[in-house]
């Protein structure tokens, strides 16, 4: 109540032309402001997500509205707690951070000068709240081209799993890879100069069987600035192929190998500095199926986890630049599935039906961090630990560890409809972009799960 009265007083002062004071003057060199524009947001729950809802103006009623202001404007954002949970609001690029508020009806505010043009995130900094939906965009000025807005989408479609080998015999297989260096979209408003195999991150999923003869043709694009190569963990031979594929821009290199052991294996660039080539996007997976192939399932998905080390902080707009110091300290600013922050939440849609048997080929490009792979609300019926296809699978697993340069294969039946979230259960990483969604459609079985709300609705009918 006290906080709400303070907010009312603050609004009254502004209305009378009196100066309003930022609650956190240490976050900005200018202390006293008369705001040029004021927004009021209410915290709430909508469609099962935590959100901000606009309380006034042309955006009234909108969820996580775009807040548009002129460059140089003094901006006040009021936040009213509408759901009784603990929240705050921050815009890191402007060092603007509110107090935390917990009581329903409590309020706080931030005041800052929008002194640089671009698109920036506003978000709740409480652990998990951004991933749960409390994030929106502050758009400053009228950029002729919002950074990242026209950049190429390099994210990998998780449906691109290749053709199952089935029961066919060994044959000759040709794999063509091109290494490229291209500016691509990282998230709305931000981009990065990625290095790739075949212009996607991860590179193509390659599918062969034990006993095949595989010929790899690798070309380094004429426009590249760096030497590139490829190391297949599935190869028995010098450097996994890297020793014979070090290619300067415009060069092509080839080698052949015979897959000796079934499994799901990572491949990556192995040109010094190897970790830099990997973090920039040069990783993928090759599935070596056993004789007779894998069992049939209803859905298969290809998912890889990566890290990006940038000089700019997470949430910054514009072209991001590589930071060697952060990579050596293993402090990524961005983490993602399939090459972009929203690759598996907005760009590509993973879906299944109730009763489907789902298989996920999951790997970690890295280069540094171990993943604790988990699907919230699901239990893995089978986990092929370390991607070993010749060992008996683990059963009934909640979370599985996957090292950098490692992989796993998980299978589970989607028994109940809903929105299932893919995460690394080192959950603070979700705040850096490491989130995916599996949407399960179909009829709900109350014997499996039933909320009190749905039970009340059923009784009412």
Which three-class secondary structure state does DSSP give residue 217? Answer: strand
Cα-only R_g, the chain = 25
d(C-alpha 88, C-alpha 81), whole Å: 9
Query: Is 233 assigned to a binding site?
Result: yes
d(C-alpha 79, C-alpha 87), whole Å: 9
Give the residue among 295, 346, 309 at the shortest CA–CA distance from 158: 346
CB 235 within 8 A of CB 270: no
Query: Is 282 assigned to a binding site?
Result: yes
Helix (H) or strand (E) holding 13: helix 2-15
Query: Is 228 assigned to a binding site?
Result: yes
Distance of CA 439 to the CA centre of its chain: 16
Query: Is 268 assigned to a binding site?
Result: yes
d(C-alpha 183, C-alpha 339), whole Å: 12
Residues in Cβ contact with 16 at an 8 Å cutoff, skipping those fewer than 6 apart = none
CB 76 within 8 A of CB 32: no
The pair of three-digit structure tokens given for residue 34, joined into one six-digit string? 């008369």
Give the residue among 134, 96, 130 at the shortest CA–CA distance from 115: 96
Query: Is 425 assigned to a binding site?
Result: yes
Distance of CA 286 to the CA centre of its chain: 22
DSSP annotation string for 244-287:
G--B-TT-EEEEEE---S-EEEEEE--SSSHHHHHHTT-EEEEE
Residue 367 sits at φ, ψ, to 5 deg, of -95, -5
Quickly count helices (H) and strands (E) in the chain: 4, 31
d(C-alpha 62, C-alpha 53), whole Å: 6
d(C-alpha 315, C-alpha 121), whole Å: 6
Query: What is the C-alpha end-to-end distance of the chain, expressed in Å?
Result: 40
Annotated binding site: 228, 233, 268-269, 277, 282, 425
Residues of each annotated binding site for Cu cation = 228, 233, 268-269, 277, 282, 425
């Amino acid at each position: 109540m006290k906080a709400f009265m303070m907010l009312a007083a603050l609004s009254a002062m502004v209305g009378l032309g009196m100066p309003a004071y930022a609650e956190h003057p240490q976050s900005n060199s200018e202390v006293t402001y008369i705001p040029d524009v004021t927004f009021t947001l209410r915290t709430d729950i909508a469609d099962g997500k935590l959100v901000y809802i606009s309380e006034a103006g042309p955006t009234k009623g909108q969820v996580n509205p775009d807040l548009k202001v002129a460059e140089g404007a003094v901006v006040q954002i009021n936040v009213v707690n509408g759901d009784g949970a603990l929240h705050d609001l921050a815009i890191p690029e402007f060092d603007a951070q509110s107090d935390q508020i917990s009581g329903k009806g409590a309020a706080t505010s931030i005041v800052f000068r929008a002194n640089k043009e671009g698109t920036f995130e506003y978000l709740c900094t409480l652990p998990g709240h951004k991933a749960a939906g409390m994030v929106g965009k502050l758009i400053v000025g009228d950029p002729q081209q919002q950074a990242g807005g026209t950049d190429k989408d390099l994210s990998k479609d998780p449906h691109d799993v290749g053709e199952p080998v089935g029961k066919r015999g060994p044959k000759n297989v040709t794999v063509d890879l091109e290494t490229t260096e291209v500016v691509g979209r990282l998230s709305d408003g931000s981009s990065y100069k990625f290095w790739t195999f075949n212009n996607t991150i991860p590179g193509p999923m390659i599918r062969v069987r034990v006993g095949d003869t595989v010929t790899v043709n690798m070309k380094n694009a004429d426009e590249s600035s760096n030497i590139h190569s490829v190391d297949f963990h599935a190869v028995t031979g010098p450097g996994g192929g890297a020793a014979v594929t070090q290619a300067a821009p415009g060069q092509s290199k080839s080698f052949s190998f015979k897959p000796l052991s079934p499994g799901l294996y990572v491949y990556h660039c192995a040109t010094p500095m190897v970790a830099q080539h990997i973090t920039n996007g040069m990783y993928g997976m090759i599935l070596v199926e056993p004789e007779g192939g894998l069992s049939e399932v209803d859905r298969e998905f290809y998912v890889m986890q990566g890290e990006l080390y940038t000089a700019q902080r997470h949430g910054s707009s514009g072209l991001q630049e590589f930071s060697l110091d952060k990579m050596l300290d293993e402090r990524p600013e961005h983490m993602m599935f399939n090459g972009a922050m929203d690759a598996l939440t907005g760009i590509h849609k993973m879906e299944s039906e109730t009763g489907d048997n789902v298989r996920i080929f999951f790997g970690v490009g890295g280069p540094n961090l171990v993943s604790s792979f988990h699907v919230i609300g699901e239990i893995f019926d089978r986990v092929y630990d370390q991607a070993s296809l010749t060992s008996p699978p683990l059963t009934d697993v909640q979370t599985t560890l996957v090292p950098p340069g490692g992989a796993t294969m998980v299978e589970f039946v989607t028994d109940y409809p809903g929105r299932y979230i893919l995460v690394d259960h080192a959950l603070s990483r979700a705040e850096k972009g490491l989130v995916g969604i599996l949407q399960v459609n179909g009829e709900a079985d109350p014997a499996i799960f039933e909320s009190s709300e749905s039970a009340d609705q059923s009784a009412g009918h």
